[in-house]
Amino acid sequence: MKKENILESPQVANKLFYDIKTLSKKLKGDIKLMEVCGTHTQAISRYGLRRLLSENVKLISGPGCPVCVTPSSYIAHSIELAKKGNIIVTFGDLMRINVFDTSLEKEKATGSQIFAVYSPLDALKIARENKDKDVIFLAIGFETTIPSICVTIEKAKKEKLKNFKILSAHKIIPPPLQILAEDDNLKIDGFICPGHVSVITGSRVYDFLPEKFGKGAVISGFSVFDILSSIKELIKMKIKNSPKNINNYKRVVKEEGNIEAKKLIDNFFEKEDTEWRGFGVIKQSGLKLKKEWEDFDAGKIEVEFKKPDEIKGCRCGEVLRGIIAPKECPLMGKVCTPENPVGACMVSSEGSCSAYYKYERQFNG
Protein backbone atom coordinates (compact mmCIF):
# COMPACT_ATOMS: atom_id res chain seq x y z
CA MET A 1 0.00 0.00 0.00
CA LYS A 2 1.35 3.40 -1.01
CA LYS A 3 2.15 5.62 1.93
CA GLU A 4 0.24 8.91 1.83
CA ASN A 5 2.36 12.01 1.31
CA ILE A 6 1.42 14.50 4.01
CA LEU A 7 2.22 17.33 1.57
CA GLU A 8 -0.56 16.10 -0.73
CA SER A 9 -3.24 15.28 1.82
CA PRO A 10 -6.55 17.19 1.65
CA GLN A 11 -7.31 16.05 5.19
CA VAL A 12 -4.15 17.71 6.50
CA ALA A 13 -4.98 20.92 4.65
CA ASN A 14 -8.53 20.97 6.02
CA LYS A 15 -7.24 20.40 9.55
CA LEU A 16 -4.79 23.28 9.21
CA PHE A 17 -7.53 25.61 7.94
CA TYR A 18 -9.74 24.56 10.85
CA ASP A 19 -6.96 25.11 13.40
CA ILE A 20 -6.14 28.55 12.00
CA LYS A 21 -9.79 29.65 12.03
CA THR A 22 -10.20 28.39 15.59
CA LEU A 23 -7.05 30.14 16.77
CA SER A 24 -7.89 33.37 14.93
CA LYS A 25 -11.03 33.70 17.06
CA LYS A 26 -8.80 34.01 20.12
CA LEU A 27 -6.93 36.98 18.67
CA LYS A 28 -7.62 40.44 20.03
CA GLY A 29 -7.91 42.27 16.73
CA ASP A 30 -5.93 41.55 13.57
CA ILE A 31 -2.63 39.79 13.04
CA LYS A 32 -0.42 41.10 10.24
CA LEU A 33 2.09 38.68 8.73
CA MET A 34 4.62 39.45 6.02
CA GLU A 35 6.24 36.93 3.69
CA VAL A 36 9.64 37.90 2.27
CA CYS A 37 10.14 35.38 -0.51
CA GLY A 38 8.94 35.66 -4.09
CA THR A 39 8.09 31.96 -4.21
CA HIS A 40 5.93 32.35 -1.08
CA THR A 41 4.27 35.37 -2.69
CA GLN A 42 3.36 33.30 -5.73
CA ALA A 43 2.13 30.39 -3.60
CA ILE A 44 -0.05 32.53 -1.31
CA SER A 45 -1.78 34.09 -4.32
CA ARG A 46 -2.06 30.84 -6.26
CA TYR A 47 -3.59 28.93 -3.34
CA GLY A 48 -5.98 31.82 -2.62
CA LEU A 49 -4.95 31.94 1.03
CA ARG A 50 -5.93 35.58 1.53
CA ARG A 51 -9.53 34.71 0.61
CA LEU A 52 -9.65 31.45 2.57
CA LEU A 53 -8.26 32.58 5.90
CA SER A 54 -10.17 34.51 8.55
CA GLU A 55 -10.56 38.24 7.90
CA ASN A 56 -8.41 39.16 10.88
CA VAL A 57 -5.41 37.23 9.47
CA LYS A 58 -3.72 39.74 7.17
CA LEU A 59 -1.06 38.49 4.75
CA ILE A 60 1.14 41.12 3.12
CA SER A 61 4.07 40.80 0.75
CA GLY A 62 7.53 42.20 1.40
CA PRO A 63 10.85 42.61 -0.45
CA GLY A 64 11.28 38.96 -1.43
CA CYS A 65 11.76 39.43 -5.18
CA PRO A 66 15.40 40.10 -6.21
CA VAL A 67 14.48 41.75 -9.52
CA CYS A 68 11.89 43.95 -7.82
CA VAL A 69 14.25 45.37 -5.19
CA THR A 70 17.03 46.06 -7.72
CA PRO A 71 17.00 49.87 -8.11
CA SER A 72 16.50 51.70 -11.39
CA SER A 73 20.02 53.16 -11.08
CA TYR A 74 21.47 49.66 -11.52
CA ILE A 75 19.54 49.19 -14.77
CA ALA A 76 20.67 52.63 -15.98
CA HIS A 77 24.28 51.66 -15.18
CA SER A 78 23.89 48.38 -17.07
CA ILE A 79 22.40 50.10 -20.13
CA GLU A 80 25.26 52.61 -20.23
CA LEU A 81 27.80 49.78 -20.07
CA ALA A 82 26.04 48.17 -23.05
CA LYS A 83 26.08 51.43 -25.00
CA LYS A 84 29.86 51.63 -24.48
CA GLY A 85 30.28 48.38 -26.42
CA ASN A 86 30.47 45.89 -23.58
CA ILE A 87 28.54 42.64 -23.84
CA ILE A 88 25.86 42.38 -21.17
CA VAL A 89 24.61 38.99 -19.94
CA THR A 90 21.63 38.79 -17.62
CA PHE A 91 18.74 36.78 -16.27
CA GLY A 92 15.64 37.35 -18.38
CA ASP A 93 13.47 39.32 -15.94
CA LEU A 94 15.89 42.26 -15.84
CA MET A 95 15.51 42.77 -19.59
CA ARG A 96 12.09 44.41 -19.32
CA ILE A 97 12.59 46.92 -16.50
CA ASN A 98 12.11 50.42 -17.91
CA VAL A 99 14.27 53.46 -17.17
CA PHE A 100 14.33 56.69 -19.20
CA ASP A 101 11.80 55.17 -21.65
CA THR A 102 14.21 52.37 -22.50
CA SER A 103 15.26 48.97 -21.17
CA LEU A 104 17.86 46.30 -21.78
CA GLU A 105 15.36 44.63 -24.09
CA LYS A 106 14.93 47.82 -26.15
CA GLU A 107 18.67 48.45 -26.23
CA LYS A 108 19.20 44.94 -27.55
CA ALA A 109 16.69 45.66 -30.31
CA THR A 110 18.69 48.73 -31.36
CA GLY A 111 21.94 46.79 -31.66
CA SER A 112 23.55 46.49 -28.22
CA GLN A 113 24.95 43.06 -27.43
CA ILE A 114 22.74 41.87 -24.57
CA PHE A 115 21.99 38.21 -23.87
CA ALA A 116 19.48 36.59 -21.52
CA VAL A 117 20.70 33.32 -19.96
CA TYR A 118 19.67 30.80 -17.32
CA SER A 119 23.02 30.49 -15.54
CA PRO A 120 26.04 32.72 -14.92
CA LEU A 121 28.15 29.89 -16.37
CA ASP A 122 26.55 30.68 -19.74
CA ALA A 123 28.32 34.04 -19.57
CA LEU A 124 31.69 32.26 -19.56
CA LYS A 125 30.92 30.66 -22.91
CA ILE A 126 30.15 34.09 -24.33
CA ALA A 127 33.39 35.44 -22.83
CA ARG A 128 35.41 32.65 -24.44
CA GLU A 129 33.88 33.48 -27.82
CA ASN A 130 34.39 37.27 -27.51
CA LYS A 131 37.83 37.82 -25.99
CA ASP A 132 38.12 41.26 -27.58
CA LYS A 133 35.29 42.62 -25.41
CA ASP A 134 34.39 42.70 -21.75
CA VAL A 135 31.50 40.35 -20.98
CA ILE A 136 29.56 41.61 -17.96
CA PHE A 137 27.16 39.42 -16.02
CA LEU A 138 24.44 41.30 -14.12
CA ALA A 139 24.80 39.62 -10.74
CA ILE A 140 21.62 40.17 -8.75
CA GLY A 141 19.92 38.06 -6.12
CA PHE A 142 19.90 37.11 -2.45
CA GLU A 143 22.02 34.60 -0.55
CA THR A 144 20.57 31.72 -2.59
CA THR A 145 22.22 32.61 -5.90
CA ILE A 146 25.47 34.19 -4.71
CA PRO A 147 27.47 30.91 -4.42
CA SER A 148 26.91 30.21 -8.12
CA ILE A 149 28.48 33.59 -8.94
CA CYS A 150 31.47 32.70 -6.78
CA VAL A 151 31.94 29.42 -8.62
CA THR A 152 31.70 31.22 -11.97
CA ILE A 153 34.36 33.77 -11.01
CA GLU A 154 36.60 30.99 -9.71
CA LYS A 155 36.24 29.15 -13.01
CA ALA A 156 36.94 32.34 -14.99
CA LYS A 157 40.18 32.84 -13.04
CA LYS A 158 41.32 29.26 -13.66
CA GLU A 159 40.65 29.72 -17.38
CA LYS A 160 42.34 33.16 -17.33
CA LEU A 161 39.25 34.78 -18.82
CA LYS A 162 40.25 38.36 -18.08
CA ASN A 163 37.32 39.75 -20.06
CA PHE A 164 34.67 38.25 -17.75
CA LYS A 165 33.26 40.58 -15.10
CA ILE A 166 30.21 40.97 -12.89
CA LEU A 167 28.20 44.03 -11.88
CA SER A 168 27.13 43.12 -8.36
CA ALA A 169 23.71 44.03 -7.00
CA HIS A 170 23.71 41.16 -4.52
CA LYS A 171 21.68 41.76 -1.40
CA ILE A 172 21.20 40.00 1.93
CA ILE A 173 17.82 39.56 3.61
CA PRO A 174 18.25 40.39 7.34
CA PRO A 175 18.91 44.19 7.07
CA PRO A 176 15.57 45.10 5.38
CA LEU A 177 13.74 42.84 7.83
CA GLN A 178 15.13 44.97 10.64
CA ILE A 179 13.82 48.13 8.96
CA LEU A 180 10.39 46.55 8.51
CA ALA A 181 10.32 45.20 12.07
CA GLU A 182 11.05 48.59 13.61
CA ASP A 183 8.49 50.46 11.46
CA ASP A 184 5.76 51.41 13.92
CA ASN A 185 3.39 52.38 11.12
CA LEU A 186 3.43 48.93 9.54
CA LYS A 187 2.83 47.09 12.83
CA ILE A 188 3.94 43.70 11.47
CA ASP A 189 3.35 40.90 14.01
CA GLY A 190 5.44 38.21 12.37
CA PHE A 191 7.45 37.15 9.35
CA ILE A 192 7.18 34.11 7.11
CA CYS A 193 10.89 33.78 6.41
CA PRO A 194 12.33 32.54 3.11
CA GLY A 195 13.12 28.85 2.68
CA HIS A 196 15.62 29.08 -0.17
CA VAL A 197 17.69 31.84 1.44
CA SER A 198 17.67 30.01 4.77
CA VAL A 199 19.19 26.89 3.20
CA ILE A 200 22.34 28.99 2.80
CA THR A 201 22.19 31.25 5.87
CA GLY A 202 20.80 28.78 8.38
CA SER A 203 18.00 29.49 10.81
CA ARG A 204 19.80 31.59 13.43
CA VAL A 205 19.98 34.74 11.26
CA TYR A 206 16.38 35.60 12.23
CA ASP A 207 16.93 35.39 16.01
CA PHE A 208 17.02 39.20 16.18
CA LEU A 209 13.36 39.46 15.16
CA PRO A 210 11.90 38.02 18.40
CA GLU A 211 14.84 38.99 20.62
CA LYS A 212 15.19 42.64 19.60
CA PHE A 213 11.82 43.54 18.11
CA GLY A 214 9.34 41.09 19.64
CA LYS A 215 8.30 39.78 16.21
CA GLY A 216 7.63 36.15 15.43
CA ALA A 217 9.68 34.48 12.69
CA VAL A 218 8.95 31.14 11.00
CA ILE A 219 11.08 29.71 8.20
CA SER A 220 8.67 28.08 5.77
CA GLY A 221 8.70 25.69 2.87
CA PHE A 222 6.59 26.32 -0.20
CA SER A 223 3.71 23.85 -0.21
CA VAL A 224 0.30 25.01 0.99
CA PHE A 225 0.84 22.81 4.06
CA ASP A 226 4.18 24.46 4.86
CA ILE A 227 2.71 27.93 4.58
CA LEU A 228 -0.46 27.16 6.54
CA SER A 229 1.45 25.48 9.36
CA SER A 230 3.81 28.48 9.48
CA ILE A 231 0.87 30.86 9.73
CA LYS A 232 -0.57 28.69 12.50
CA GLU A 233 2.68 28.94 14.48
CA LEU A 234 2.76 32.72 14.14
CA ILE A 235 -0.85 33.05 15.34
CA LYS A 236 -0.04 30.89 18.38
CA MET A 237 2.87 33.19 19.19
CA LYS A 238 0.61 36.24 18.96
CA ILE A 239 -2.02 34.72 21.24
CA LYS A 240 0.57 33.72 23.86
CA ASN A 241 2.54 36.96 23.39
CA SER A 242 5.62 34.77 23.06
CA PRO A 243 7.50 35.54 19.82
CA LYS A 244 10.08 32.99 18.69
CA ASN A 245 12.22 32.07 15.72
CA ILE A 246 11.02 28.67 14.49
CA ASN A 247 12.47 26.54 11.70
CA ASN A 248 9.40 25.02 10.07
CA TYR A 249 11.39 23.71 7.10
CA LYS A 250 13.77 21.35 8.89
CA ARG A 251 13.73 18.82 6.07
CA VAL A 252 15.86 21.30 4.10
CA VAL A 253 17.07 24.12 6.39
CA LYS A 254 19.69 23.45 9.06
CA GLU A 255 20.52 25.64 12.03
CA GLU A 256 24.05 26.26 10.75
CA GLY A 257 23.01 26.59 7.08
CA ASN A 258 25.29 25.56 4.25
CA ILE A 259 28.72 26.06 5.77
CA GLU A 260 30.65 25.56 2.54
CA ALA A 261 28.44 28.00 0.62
CA LYS A 262 28.87 30.62 3.35
CA LYS A 263 32.66 30.18 3.25
CA LEU A 264 32.56 30.63 -0.50
CA ILE A 265 30.59 33.88 -0.20
CA ASP A 266 32.93 35.20 2.50
CA ASN A 267 35.94 34.41 0.31
CA PHE A 268 34.68 36.52 -2.60
CA PHE A 269 32.44 39.23 -1.13
CA GLU A 270 32.26 41.80 1.64
CA LYS A 271 29.32 43.84 2.88
CA GLU A 272 28.56 47.36 1.72
CA ASP A 273 25.75 49.91 1.93
CA THR A 274 23.45 49.49 -1.05
CA GLU A 275 20.22 50.81 -2.50
CA TRP A 276 16.94 48.89 -2.49
CA ARG A 277 13.90 49.88 -4.49
CA GLY A 278 11.37 51.32 -2.06
CA PHE A 279 13.82 51.50 0.84
CA GLY A 280 16.66 53.70 -0.33
CA VAL A 281 20.14 52.88 0.88
CA ILE A 282 20.28 50.21 3.61
CA LYS A 283 23.52 49.95 5.56
CA GLN A 284 25.58 46.78 5.13
CA SER A 285 22.85 45.09 3.08
CA GLY A 286 24.74 44.54 -0.16
CA LEU A 287 27.79 42.59 -1.27
CA LYS A 288 30.73 43.78 -3.35
CA LEU A 289 33.75 41.85 -4.54
CA LYS A 290 36.75 41.90 -2.22
CA LYS A 291 39.89 43.69 -3.37
CA GLU A 292 41.63 40.48 -4.39
CA TRP A 293 38.82 39.81 -6.88
CA GLU A 294 38.37 43.35 -8.19
CA ASP A 295 39.69 42.43 -11.66
CA PHE A 296 36.27 40.81 -12.12
CA ASP A 297 34.35 43.88 -10.91
CA ALA A 298 32.54 45.71 -13.71
CA GLY A 299 31.84 48.49 -11.24
CA LYS A 300 35.47 49.56 -11.79
CA ILE A 301 34.73 50.38 -15.45
CA GLU A 302 34.28 54.14 -15.66
CA VAL A 303 30.96 55.17 -17.20
CA GLU A 304 28.67 58.09 -16.46
CA PHE A 305 24.93 57.66 -16.08
CA LYS A 306 22.09 59.64 -14.59
CA LYS A 307 20.05 58.29 -11.73
CA PRO A 308 16.55 57.80 -13.11
CA ASP A 309 13.40 59.09 -11.45
CA GLU A 310 10.81 56.47 -10.59
CA ILE A 311 8.03 56.10 -13.15
CA LYS A 312 5.14 58.47 -12.44
CA GLY A 313 2.22 56.71 -10.80
CA CYS A 314 4.12 53.45 -10.12
CA ARG A 315 3.95 52.50 -6.44
CA CYS A 316 6.23 49.45 -6.50
CA GLY A 317 8.31 50.86 -3.67
CA GLU A 318 5.30 51.02 -1.35
CA VAL A 319 4.22 47.52 -2.36
CA LEU A 320 7.68 46.16 -1.51
CA ARG A 321 7.52 47.74 1.94
CA GLY A 322 4.04 46.37 2.62
CA ILE A 323 2.56 49.86 2.84
CA ILE A 324 -0.01 49.16 0.12
CA ALA A 325 -1.36 46.06 -1.62
CA PRO A 326 -0.89 45.76 -5.40
CA LYS A 327 -4.57 46.52 -6.00
CA GLU A 328 -4.06 49.98 -4.48
CA CYS A 329 -1.63 51.06 -7.21
CA PRO A 330 -3.54 53.21 -9.75
CA LEU A 331 -1.68 51.59 -12.66
CA MET A 332 -2.59 48.00 -11.73
CA GLY A 333 -4.46 46.23 -14.53
CA LYS A 334 -5.00 49.47 -16.44
CA VAL A 335 -1.62 50.70 -17.63
CA CYS A 336 0.50 48.04 -15.93
CA THR A 337 -0.04 44.42 -17.03
CA PRO A 338 2.26 41.41 -17.56
CA GLU A 339 2.19 42.16 -21.30
CA ASN A 340 3.07 45.81 -20.68
CA PRO A 341 4.77 45.95 -17.26
CA VAL A 342 5.42 49.43 -15.94
CA GLY A 343 6.97 48.57 -12.58
CA ALA A 344 9.47 45.92 -11.50
CA CYS A 345 6.87 44.16 -9.32
CA MET A 346 4.91 43.34 -12.49
CA VAL A 347 7.99 42.50 -14.58
CA SER A 348 9.24 39.62 -12.45
CA SER A 349 7.30 36.38 -12.12
CA GLU A 350 8.17 36.54 -8.40
CA GLY A 351 6.78 40.04 -8.01
CA SER A 352 3.72 40.63 -5.84
CA CYS A 353 1.97 42.66 -8.56
CA SER A 354 2.50 39.86 -11.08
CA ALA A 355 1.11 37.28 -8.61
CA TYR A 356 -1.87 39.49 -7.75
CA TYR A 357 -2.69 40.13 -11.42
CA LYS A 358 -2.51 36.44 -12.30
CA TYR A 359 -4.36 34.92 -9.34
CA GLU A 360 -6.26 37.50 -7.27
CA ARG A 361 -7.33 40.40 -9.45
CA GLN A 362 -10.63 38.82 -10.49
CA PHE A 363 -11.73 38.58 -6.86
CA ASN A 364 -11.19 42.26 -6.09
CA GLY A 365 -12.80 44.01 -9.03
| Residue 2 in this model has a pLDDT that exceeds 60 | no
Pairing relation of β-strands 280-289 and 269-276?
A: antiparallel
Provide the pLDDT confidence category of residue 122 given band limits of 50, 70 and 90.
very high
Mean pLDDT of 213-221: 98
| Residue 253 in this model has a pLDDT that exceeds 50 | yes
Mean pLDDT of 280-297: 98
Positions of E strands within the chain:
31-35, 57-61, 87-91, 114-117, 135-141, 164-170, 190-193, 216-219, 245-247, 269-276, 280-289
| Residue 7 in this model has a pLDDT that exceeds 80 | no
Q: In the CATH scheme, what is the code of domain 70-172+257-300?
A: 3.40.50.11740
Side-chain half-sphere exposure of 79, counting CA atoms within 13 A: 26
| Residue 3 in this model has a pLDDT that exceeds 50 | no
pLDDT of residue 6: 56
pLDDT of residue 5: 58
- Contact yes or no for 58/81 (Cβ under 8 A): no
| pTM over 0.85, yes/no | yes
Q: What is the pLDDT of residues 142-195, one digit of tens each?
A: 999 999 999 999 999 999 999 999 999 999 999 999 999 999 999 999 999 999
Q: Where are the domains of the chain?
A: 70-172+257-300
Residue 185: how many CB atoms within 10 A of its CB? Answer: 6
Q: What is the pLDDT of residues 219-234, one digit of tens each?
A: 999 999 999 999 999 9
- Contact yes or no for 360/354 (Cβ under 8 A): no
Alpha carbons 97 and 343: distance in angstroms, whole number: 7
**∠ at Cα 14 (12, 17), nearest 5°?**
110
Name which of 319, 302, 311 is nearest 343 in CA terms: 311
pLDDT of residue 137: 98
pLDDT of residue 166: 98
| Residue 206 in this model has a pLDDT that exceeds 80 | yes
| Residue 37 in this model has a pLDDT that exceeds 70 | yes
Mean pLDDT of 255-279: 97
Percent of the chain with pLDDT over 90: 91
Mean pLDDT of 353-360: 95
Give me the chain's average pLDDT, please. Answer: 94
Name which of 99, 97, 78 is nearest 89 in CA terms: 78
